[in-house]
Amino acid sequence: MPLALEHIRRMRGGAQSHLMRCDDGHYYVVKFRNNPQHSRILANELLGTRMAARLGLPVPPAAVV
C-alpha cells in the first residue's frame, strides 16, 4: 500500500480528488472518505476497476493509499 508523501494539487470535478506523490515514486489521484458523491463511492469504484481489470479491459491500476 503506497504512502502519500506530498500533496501536489486539487483536481477538477465534483469528486474533490487530489493529486498526491507517494513513497513508491508514483503519482496518484486520491479520493477521500468524505467524498460528496456518496458514502460508498470509494468501495464501488475500487471494486468496479478491479473487476474490469480481471475482464481484460483497459483500466488504470487502482490502489489504496
Report, as an integer, the average pLDDT of 20-34: 93
Q: Write the DSSP string, the chain.
A: ---EEEEEEEPSSTT--EEEEETTS-EEEE--TT-SS-TTHHHHHHHHHHHHHHTT---------
Q: Which amino acid is at 22?
A: C
Confidence of residue 21 (pLDDT cuts 50, 70, 90): very high
Report, as an integer, the average pLDDT of 43-54: 94
Given a cut of 90, whether residue 14 has pLDDT beyond it is no
Rounded CA gap, 27 and 40, in Å? 24
* pTM of the predicted model over 0.85: no
Rounded CA gap, 47 and 53, in Å? 10
Cell numbers that stand for 61 in this block: 491500476
